[in-house]
Structure 1
Amino acid sequence: MSADEGTTPSPLKPARPSMTAAMRSSSFLNDHQQYRPPSKPDNHYGIDTVVEDLQASSINSPKQISPFNGIPSPENPPTIVESGLSHEYTHPNCTQPPGLTTDRLIATLFYKSTSPRVSNAVGPSSSPPHTASSPVRASSPTGADAEIPSNLAPSSSFDTFPLEPPTNDTEPLDHIYGSYVSPMCITSFLHLMSTFPLPRGSTNLTSAHRCLKLDAASDHHPQVVELTLAPAPSQDYLSLADLRKHELIYRFEREWNIDVVLRSDTLWRRHPRLVVFDMDSTLITQEVIDLLAATIKDPPDLAARVADITHRAMSGELEFDGAFRARVKLLTGLSADIFNQLRPVLDVTNGVRPLLRALKKLGVKTAVLSGGFLPLTSWLAGELGIDYAHANEVVIDEATGRLTGEVKGRIVGKERKQELLLEIAQKEGIDLEQVVAVGDGANDLLMMESAGLGVAWNAKPMVQMEASARLNGESLLDLLYLFGFTDEEVAILSKET
Structure 2
Amino acid sequence: MAEEAGSSPRQGRPSMSAAMRSSSFLREHQQYRPPHKPENHYGIDTVVEDLQATSVSPRGISHFKGVPSPENPPKIVESGLSHELSHPNCTPRPGAHTDRLVATLFYRSSAPRVSNVIPSPKQGTSPQGSRSPSLRAADSDIPPTMAPSSSLDTFPLEPPAAEPEPLDHLYGSFVSPMCIASFLHLMSTFPLPAGSTDLTSAHRCLKLDAKQDHHPVVVELTVSPAPSVDYLSLADLRKHELIYRFEREWNVDVALRDDSLWRRYPRLVVFDMDSTLITQEVIDLLAATIKDPPDLAARVADITHRAMLGELEFDSAFRERVKLLTGLPGDIFHELRPVLEVTNGVRPLLRALKRLGIKTAVLSGGFLPLTSWLAGELGIDYAHANEVVVDEVTGRLTGDVKGRIVGKERKRELLIEIAEKEGIPLEQVVAVGDGANDLLMMDAAGLGVAWNAKPRVQMEASARLNGDSLLDLLYLFGFTDEEIQQLIA
Shorter-normalised TM range? 0.7 to 0.9
Partner of 2:325: 331
Partner of 1:21: none
Q: Deviations over 1:191-224 (max 9, x none)?
A: 0000011111111111111100000111001010
Partner of 1:35: none
Cα separation, partners in 2 of 1:146 and 1:271, compared to 1, 3 Å: closer
2:294 to 296, 300, 320: 300
Q: Which has the higher helix share?
A: 2
Counterpart AA for 2:317 = A
2:119 to 105, 118, 122: 122
Cα separation, partners in 2 of 1:409 and 1:145, compared to 1, 3 Å: same
- Is the Cα contact below 8 Å between 1:209 and 1:226 reproduced in 2? yes
3-state SS of the aligned residue for 1:276? Answer: strand
Partner of 2:65: 72
Separation in 2 of the partners of 1:422 and 1:304? Answer: 36
Separation in 2 of the partners of 1:239 and 1:153? Answer: 19
1:229 to 223, 227, 232: 223
Query: CA shift at 1:149, angstroms?
Result: 3.3
2:444 to 444, 450, 457: 450
Query: CA shift at 1:122, angstroms?
Result: 1.9
1:164 to 148, 158, 163: 158
Of structures 1 and 2, the larger Rg is shown by: 1
Query: CA shift at 1:55, angstroms?
Result: 9.6
Separation in 2 of the partners of 1:277 and 1:55? Answer: 82
Q: Deviations over 1:282-311 (max 9, x none)?
A: 000000000000011111111011111101
Cα separation, partners in 2 of 1:147 and 1:246, compared to 1, 3 Å: closer
Unaligned runs of 5+ in 1: 1-50, 125-140, 155-159
Separation in 2 of the partners of 1:348 and 1:75? Answer: 52
Q: Is 1:480 matched up with 2:474?
A: yes
Cα separation, partners in 2 of 1:203 and 1:300, compared to 1, 3 Å: same
Separation in 2 of the partners of 1:204 and 1:441? Answer: 40
Partner of 1:425: 419
Q: Is 1:97 matched up with 2:97?
A: no
**Percentage of identical aligned residues:** 76
Counterpart AA for 1:122 = P
Cα separation, partners in 2 of 1:144 and 1:54, compared to 1, 3 Å: same
Counterpart AA for 2:111 = S
Query: CA shift at 1:468, angstroms?
Result: 0.4
Query: CA shift at 1:326, angstroms?
Result: 0.5
Counterpart AA for 1:460 = K
Partner of 1:373: 367
Counterpart AA for 1:107 = A
Cα separation, partners in 2 of 1:468 and 1:162, compared to 1, 3 Å: closer
Correspondences of 1:73-472 after superposition (within 5 Å) = 80=74, 90-119=86-115, 121-122=118-119, 145=139, 149-152=143-146, 163-166=157-160, 169-472=163-466
TM-score, normalised via structure 2 length: 0.80
Separation in 1 of the partners of 2:68 and 2:176? Answer: 39
TM-score, normalised via structure 1 length: 0.79
Partner of 1:6: none
- Is the Cα contact below 8 Å between 1:282 and 1:439 reproduced in 2? yes
Separation in 2 of the partners of 1:341 and 1:494? Answer: 31
Q: Deviations over 1:108-162 (max 9, x none)?
A: 00000001122472289xxxxxxxxxxxxxxxx9x984565332489xxxxx976
Counterpart AA for 1:221 = H
Separation in 2 of the partners of 1:83 and 1:339? Answer: 68
Counterpart AA for 2:118 = A
Cα separation, partners in 2 of 1:202 and 1:164, compared to 1, 3 Å: closer
3-state SS of the aligned residue for 1:317? Answer: coil
- Is the Cα contact below 8 Å between 2:262 and 2:428 reproduced in 1? yes
- Is the Cα contact below 8 Å between 2:76 and 2:84 reproduced in 1? no
Query: CA shift at 1:82, angstroms?
Result: 6.2
Separation in 1 of the partners of 2:73 and 2:432? Answer: 47
Aligned length in residues? 424
- Is the Cα contact below 8 Å between 1:278 and 1:370 reproduced in 2? yes
- Is the Cα contact below 8 Å between 2:120 and 2:158 reproduced in 1? no
Unaligned runs of 5+ in 2: 1-29, 52-60, 122-134, 149-153
Q: Deviations over 1:220-278 (max 9, x none)?
A: 01010001111111111111111111000000000100000011111110000000000
- Is the Cα contact below 8 Å between 1:455 and 1:469 reproduced in 2? yes
